[in-house]
Every structure is written in C-alpha cells, then in structure tokens.
Amino acid sequence: MTETSASARTTPWFARPAARAWTCAPAPAGVRDFHASLPGYAPTPLTELPSLAAELGVGRVFVKDESARLGLPAFKVLGTSWAVHRLLAGRPAGERVEFVTATDGNHGRAVAREARRLGNGAHVFVSQGVHPGAAAAIESEGARVTRVAGDYDRAVREAAAAARATAHAVLVQDTAWPGYEEVPALIVEGYATLFAEVDEQLAAAGAGAPGLVVVPVGVGSLAQAAVTHYRGRPASGPGAAPALLAVEPTAAAPALASLTRGEPVTVPTRTTAMAGLNCGTLSSLAWPYLRDGLDAATAVPDPAAATALRDLTALGVPSGPCGAAPLAAARAALTDTARRTALAVTPTTTVVLLSTEGREANPHG
C-alpha cells in the first residue's frame, strides 16, 4: 500500500469519482485532417518513462511532449490554427484582418504565428509577469505587442476592448464569457488532435487506454478538450473511462476553488513560474465540463513544479514549468492512499501526463 508523503498531505485536493460516469457530445470530425494538412505537421512524441512508473507505483507512464508543435514550443497552435481557419472560411477571400488577443505567453505567440502565416496582422496584449523573452518571441512573429500593467484577466478585458474599437479586427481568445463563445469553442475543438494522437500512440505502444490522464489548467480550455475526448465516447467496459486529474499553480487555482465551491469563482493571482497557467477566471464554456467531467483537481507550488521540470529534463523530456506541473500533481496524488483510491489507480494503471510546453515557451530562471 502506498504511504502518504508530506507533500501530498499539504497539497490541496478536490475529488469527484462519479465523473467517470458522465458523458458529453464528442469533438467534431475533421480537426485532425486539417492539422495534418499544415506544413510541418507531425504528431508530437509520447515518451514512455519506466522510472516514473516505478516511482509512482503504476504500470506505465507516458508523457505527451508538446515542446515542438508545428514549429512552436507549446500546444496552443492546435487551437488557434483551427479557430483562425474556421473564422476566415466565413469571410470574403483576400480580406485582411487583424487578430487581437491577450496572453500569458504561448497563446499569443500562436495567434501571431498564424496571422503571419496567412498574411494578416496581430495585436497581442501581454499580461504582467510574462517573461520579456516570451514577449519578444511574440514580437518576432511580426505582432504588435501591448504590455498590460495588470494580470491576465485585465489583459483579456483590454484586448476585447481594442478588438471592438478596431476596424477589421477579430478577437481570438481562448477563454469564453457570456456573449463570447464561438471562438473559444473552436479553439477547444482544435485541441482534439492532441488526444487523437495519444490514442494512436498508446495503441502502438501496446498500452491500450489510459487509466489516468493529468492535464494542466489555465482558463480550462485544454481540460475541457480532455473531458470532451474521454467523456464523449462510449467506454468499452467497467472502469474503462480514465480518471482525469486537473492541476494548477497554488498561486492561481480558479478551477480548484470553483470545484470546491460548486460554482465559478474568480481568484486573485500571484507571480508563478507556471506563467501560462497564471489565470484567475475559468472560461465560462469550460466550467460545466470541468464541474461534471473531472475526477479530481489539485494545485502545486512552484518548487514542486521546478523539481518535476528538472526530473523530466534529466529523462529527456524538455518541459517548461507548466508542462512539468502534471508530474508534480501525479506525485502529490499517487503517494496518498485515499487519493489513489479516488482515482482508481492500481499497480497496472497506464498514466498519461500532458507536458504542454517546452523550456523556450516561457523562459524562466
């Protein structure tokens, strides 16, 4: 039986095992085919790490490595490319637009890259705390960057206002609020490719379906995509639906707070090395999926993510702090007997950790 570690005892936790019985509509068809048509597309690696499986007391551990996705160091371009593709399909051919967005780093660069690829402009609002190197990377894509003296939520408000006030501007935001749902929904759809790849790669490795998937949460769009993928298809038998564990920084954990309260909660945020997850408000579209489809949520401090980052790097996975958070969460969850039970994790379980960014995505010390 697994013993409870000191870090597990002090890590906040929410669990709802009934989530495995909840179902929703699946993601739309055609997303993977679109991504496969893009120049430079290739599935990102799913790296097996037996030493982590031994440490965590499970059958197999795989890390989905998003450090080089379509030429960018994070997964975000999957959502932005699909959303921009669908948005432009409904506009006159050859019309030039300016894509406007707010970012903690990765999303903004992905929007800027797509704008440049398609011959359009981009205006990116960068929240306080984003490393200057990440802002410079966005500018290197040809985007106009406005630095905001405030947090991510304020940057979103300023970006939305700028888009409303600018002719031929289109807001491409990965968080939703009442009255702004179409584009965030398209971005979530775009993330379906990541999970389709995981399915194929696990099958090729002879691993079958995962028993636990750990996903980092910022505004919740990737977690919504995970819920859609794993709850939007029939399970093949009892216990076949995987447990889904969400992880946030302790400095910015609106999902954990919202799940604990049973309603959406905006939380104050503090500086964190997990800059891409430094969000205080969940997407209004994501919240129902997280509420009903997540088995558990936790929040990890920066030192735990830093340790996980060093360990992943030593094992050959070039992760950034956000991408390392799932390993920190798995350690906090799977060294506690009650938490393992809530997640239905056994010594034969296959675990998938989503490493959503590489070290270059949000430079850090």
Q: Report if pTM > 0.85.
A: yes
Residue 91: per-residue pLDDT: 86
Residue range 131-168, pLDDT digits in tens: 888 899 999 999 999 999 999 999 999 999 999 999 89
Residue 3: per-residue pLDDT: 44
Residue 2: per-residue pLDDT: 42
Question: Which 3-state string (H, E, C) describes the chain?
Answer: CCCCCHHHHHCCEEECHHHHHCCCCCCCCCHHHHHHCCCCCCCCCEEECHHHHHHHCCCEEEEEECCCECCECECCHHHHHHHHHHHHHCCCCCCCCEEEEEECCHHHHHHHHHHHHCCCEEEEEECCCCCHHHHHHHHHCCCEEEECCCCHHHHHHHHHHHHHHCCCEEECCCCCECCECHHHHHHHHHCHHHHHHHHHHHHHCCCCCCCEEEEECCCCHHHHHHHHHHHCCCCCCCCCCCEEEEEEECCCCHHHHHHHHCCCCCCCCCCCCCHHHCCCCCCCCHHHHHHHHCCEEEEECHHHHHHHHHHHHHCCCCECHHHHHHHHHHHHHHCCHHHHHHCCCCCCCEEEEEECEECCCCCCC
Is 312 within 8 Å of 214 (Cβ atoms)?
A: no
Residue 93: per-residue pLDDT: 82
Is 337 within 8 Å of 309 (Cβ atoms)?
A: no
Residue 129: per-residue pLDDT: 79
Residue 8: per-residue pLDDT: 59
By CB atoms closer than 10 A (0-12, 13-18, 19+), residue 18 is exposed
Residue 9: per-residue pLDDT: 59
Q: What stretches in the chain show pLDDT beneath 50? A: 1-4, 6, 236-239, 365
List, in order, residues 6 or more apart from 25 with CB less than 8 Å away: 228, 232
Residue 7: per-residue pLDDT: 55
